Amino acid sequence: MTSEIGSERVERLLAELTLEEKLGQLTQYFYFGAIDGGAETADGAPTQPQLVEGALATGGAGALLFVNDPAETNRLQRQAIEGSRHGIPVLFGFDVIHGLRTIFPVPIALAATWDADVIERSQSVAAREARAVGINWVFAPMVDIARDPRWGRMIEGAGEDPLLGGMVAAAQVRGFQGEGIGSAEHVIAGPKHFAGYGAALGGRDYDEANISDQELWNTYFPPFHEAIKAGAGNIMAAYQDLNGVPASGNRWLLHEVLREALGFEGFVVSDANSVRDLETHHFAADLTDAGARALNAGMDMEMAIFDPAFGHLRAAVEDGRVDIARIDESVRRILTAKEALGLFDAPFVDEDAAATVLGDPAHRVAAREAAEASAVLLRNEGVLPLDAAALNRVAVIGPMAASARDTIGPWVFDYDLDETVTIVDGLRTALDGRAEVTYASGVPFDRREFPSMFEMFGDSGPFSPEDFDADAEFAHAVSDAAAADVAVVVLGERQDMIGENASRSSLELPGDQLRLLQAVAETGTPVVLVLMSGRPLDLRWADENVPAILEVWYPGTQGGAAIANLLLGAATPAGRLPFTWPRTVGQVPIHHAVTRSHDPQAQGRRYWDEQSTPLYPFGHGLSYAAFSYGAVAVSAGEVGIDGEVVVSVDVTNTSDRDGAEVVQLYLHQRYGSASRPLRQLAAFERVEVPAGQTRRMQFRIGAEQRRYWSAAIRDWTLDATTFDVWVGGDATASAHAEFTVTA
Ligand code: GLC
């Protein structure tokens, strides 16, 4: 979508709109009607929904969010069209992060598939369900690189790596938007939060991020660039200060980087109240100043709950701080988006058809397949897969094993808990009476010390009753384990302990979970730890004492069915970690692409009280199959500065089970204008390898893979140097080759 000259309709509208109507188009309101229920205010002032409906009646809103009912979107759309002199429809945006009614595994789980097809299919289902209810724009994918798991929003992204993150972002954009914005079953994708939000100081959500230029250009910007190249129609600006300037008021970020360097042509929306926040940050003097500086920085639309800063812009136009041409540029981008979606000609949805789309059984199948593909087998000492024929009793333990709400994870609003398959449900269905499946929660459903922001939506819990007898329940779980052939212990963080506003100072299993795991292990019954988390947790004890550990994330509506298939061998785990898994929170931030430094032999023991190496490396994941790598070959030992080599390697499945391997290629240049990572992911491919067979893998490594932004010359560059290539199943890959690039 271009922002220079719009269509004839867009230019005609632009010429006829008043300043207030133009500012209305630049404003997106939350609509809490479904949540507040229009609750009357104590002093009789209008409620938030009433304020919004008032704005709609005067063409004062260009978009809404938080509406996901087809009758409501139609009702509000009709109000908007009738309230606007020119019948301009509104955009309906929403956080459709990993599904609307059919809930898919959380985004970090989708990233763990390393499979673009699975990711694209998952988000195309989400788009179809969203559009069916009238949502035509989603605030996804979250594209923020995250290397500090204290930051709870790691769950919403694709982890630590720009190459993997770029693939995941582009696949999500294609899934949401289809071939291009305009299909009646797709929506506008809104990659977020531009930029650097995941580097919050101390992992504290919303706090400042101070990121070097070389990290911005080499690590944080590239996934956004991939999303933009995939055609993303919207970008959401971040809340936090980036290097001392709020992202939402940062002209260098929103114009020089986003428009000029990355080539974005769509519209930019703020995060919730992040324009008003410019005053909060003590960056803007007042709301008029906040609105003017956000708009002049490149913000096109303000997302607000009430009293938007853009509503104060008349004064800034009159005193010359804002040029009407800048306002017109934003209005043009937004009207162009509405036209691209077809909203001027077909603004309403078919309310009857929505239910059919939301209930499509094919969507549930896709959700289960995505959950099976995303689980990561962290450890397996001969326990998995379980042999159903040899089982008489399976003890399932842990509160989340029976919690439908936790199984679907955070950032969900339109789910159906009755159709959500928990792990207990899934195992009982899969075993179908062949073995008894007992259940004990063992420990109470924990509450957070500081309540989640989502409790305001009543979306935390369920919590254990006041009369929960912790000792009796703990003993019940241990006795169940003692009497069983295997204990499946489901532990992790409750779904409201992770996500937005859910940073932690520790990575330990919350509450009494570790003691429960230890007591169950003490019975001598083989233990399978099934981890529900969206970030790495402290598994040092489990890694030493529990023979099987399966990370299942928050696997979604069909999660229990997928996990039962994985545990019983009907599916084979093939997920790989999209982040480095630390031993302890004291190691963070941590990632795989670090440079070599002084006394490299000791880089594994930089702390005297703990190893520096991770518990599990980036890219780690086991299978029920087994893979071996042949010698790595390069097509040429020497190439020119713009040359390309083809790296080849044979991967053999040495087991009697079919399986998928994620073949990863890591690159390192031995010298050049700047120090470069000892191991940086430069290529990867997930490949199915049948039992006993071999696949030849080939990767092209050219200038694109070797180019980097150098802090020494403060520009993009290629070095004439020697490169090491490692190929394998994670960042510790050992199959090696090298080649030299000459000037
Ligand atoms: C939130 C989040 C953002 C979300 C928006 C609308 O605060 O930061 O990711 O899309 O507000 O819900």
**Cα Dmax for the chain:** 81
CA of 272 from ligand 1 middle (Å) equals 6
Q: Does the CB atom of residue 271 touch ligand 1 within 6 A?
A: yes
Atom number, ligand 1, closest to the C-alpha of residue 156: 9
Q: How far is the CA of 275 from the centre of ligand 1 (A)?
A: 13
Q: Are residues 570 and 662 in the same domain?
A: no
95 lines ligand 1 (CB under 6 A): yes
Q: What digits encode the pLDDT tens for the residues 222-271?
A: 999 999 999 999 999 999 999 999 999 999 999 999 999 999 999 999 99
Q: Which residue's CA lies nearest to atom 10 of ligand 1?
A: 139
By CB atoms closer than 10 A (0-12, 13-18, 19+), residue 326 is middle
Considering only CA atoms, which residue is closest to atom 7 of ligand 1? Answer: 272
Which residue out of 95, 144, 205, 271 is catalytically annotated? Answer: 271
Return the ligand 1 atom nearest residue 272 CA: 11
In a domain, 613, yes or no: no
User: Secondary structure of the chain: what % helix, strand, coil (to 5)?
Assistant: 35, 20, 45
For residues 190 and 130, the answer to whether their CB atoms sit within 8 Å is no
CATH for 562: 3.40.50.1700
Q: Which of 137, 271, 411 to mutate to test the pocket of ligand 1 (most atoms within 8 A of CB)?
A: 271
Report in angstroms the alpha-carbon separations of 539 from 86, 491, 502, 550, 616: 60, 11, 20, 12, 10
Domain extent for 424? 364-587
Candidate from 137, 139, 188, 269 with most ligand 1 atoms within 8 A of CB, to mutate: 139
Separation of 94 CA from ligand 1 center, angstroms? 9
Q: What is the pLDDT at residue 38?
A: 57
Q: Is residue 531 part of a domain?
A: yes
DSSP state of 443: S
In a domain, 525, yes or no: yes
Give the distance (Å) from ligand 1 centre to CA of residue 504. Answer: 19
**Which of 227, 158, 219 is CA-nearest to residue 191?**
227
- On whether residue 479 sits in a domain, the answer given is yes
Instruction: Name the domain boundary from 528, 556, 587.
Output: 587
Residue 192 shares a structural domain with residue 124: yes
Mutate to test the pocket of ligand 1, among 413, 453, 500 (most ligand atoms within 8 A of CB): 500
C-alpha 271 to ligand 1 mean position (Å): 6
Is 335 in the same domain as 447? no
Is the Cβ atom of 139 under 6 angstroms away from ligand 1?
Answer: yes
190 CA: nearest ligand 1 atom: 10
Q: Which residue has a Cα nearest atom 11 of ligand 1?
A: 272
Domain count, the chain: 3
The residue behind tokens 């509405």 is: 338
pLDDT for position 46:
84
482 CA distance to ligand 1 middle (Å)? 46
Q: The pTM is what?
A: 0.97
C-alpha 86/C-alpha 69 separation (Å) is 25
Write the CATH number for 132.
3.20.20.300
CB proximity list for 398: less than 8 A, separation 6 or greater: 441, 442, 443, 489, 490, 491, 513, 516, 530
User: What was the pLDDT predicted at 39?
Assistant: 63
Per the CB < 8 A criterion, the answer to whether 337 and 327 are in contact is no
- Read off the tokens for 507: 């990575």
Specify the residue for token string 């006041």. 466
154 within some domain: yes
Q: Is 272 in the pocket of ligand 1 (CB under 6 A)?
A: yes
Nearest C-alpha to atom 1 of ligand 1 is from which residue? 272
Q: Is the CB of 192 under 6 A from ligand 1?
A: yes
Q: Does residue 510 sit in the same domain as residue 657?
A: no
Q: Which atom of ligand 1 approaches the CA of 239 most closely? A: 8
The closest-lying atom of ligand 1 relative to the alpha carbon of residue 193 is 9
Same domain, yes or no: 127 and 169: yes
Instruction: List, in sequence order, the alpha helices (H) in 102-257.
Output: 107-111, 116-132, 162-177, 213-215, 222-229, 251
Of 322, 354, 386, the last residue of a domain is 354
Q: Is the CB of 144 under 6 A from ligand 1?
A: no
| Closest CA to ligand 1's atom 6 | 272
Q: Are 340 and 412 in a shared domain?
A: no
Decide: 277 in ligand 1 pocket, CB within 6 A.
no
Q: Are strands 137-138 and 91-94 parallel, antiparallel or unpaired?
A: parallel
Residue 35: per-residue pLDDT:
64
Residues 568, 668 within the same domain:
no
Q: What is the tens place of the pLDDT at every residue in 95-124?
A: 999 999 999 999 999 999 999 999 999 999
Give me the percent of the chain exceeding a pLDDT of 90: 92
Q: Are residues 65 and 114 in the same domain?
A: yes
Nearest-angstrom CA–CA distance, 144 and 154: 8
Quote the ligand 1 centre to 138 CA distance (angstroms).
11
Compute the distance from residue 453 Cα to the ligand 1 centre, in Å: 12
For residues 451 and 580, membership in a common domain is answered with yes
Q: Give pLDDT, residue 37.
A: 58
695 in any annotated domain: yes
Same domain, 377 and 480: yes
> How much distance in Å is there from the Cα of 328 to the middle of ligand 1?
26
First to last CA, the chain: 40
Which whole-number Å values give the CA distances from 375 to 108, 336, 433, in the listed order?
11, 40, 26
Q: Which helix (H) or strand (E) element contains residue 541?
A: helix 540-545
Q: Is residue 598 part of a domain?
A: no
Q: Are residue 323 and residue 406 in the same domain, yes or no?
A: no
Residue 603 within a domain? no
Do 650 and 551 belong together in one domain? no
Residue 3's pLDDT is 47
Residue 363 burial class via C-beta count within 10 angstroms: exposed 0-12, middle 13-18, buried 19 and up:
buried
Q: Is the CB of 500 under 6 A from ligand 1?
A: yes
Low-confidence spans in the chain with pLDDT less than 50: 1-3
700: domain CATH number is 2.60.40.10
Distance (angstroms) between ligand 1 centre and the Cα of 207 equals 15
Q: How far is CA 484 from CA 169, 398, 420, 444, in A?
A: 44, 15, 26, 22
Q: Which atom of ligand 1 is nearest to the CA of 139?
A: 10
- Which atom, in ligand 1's list, is nearest to the CA of 95? 10
Q: Please identify, among 305, 324, 354, the residue that sits at the C-terminal boundary of a domain.
A: 354
Query: Are the C-beta atoms of residues 191 and 170 closer than 8 Å to each other?
Result: no
SS3 letters for 221-278? CHHHHHHHHCCCCEEEECCCEECCEEHHHCHHHHHHHHHHHCCCCCEEECCCCCCCHH
Annotated catalytic residue 36: no
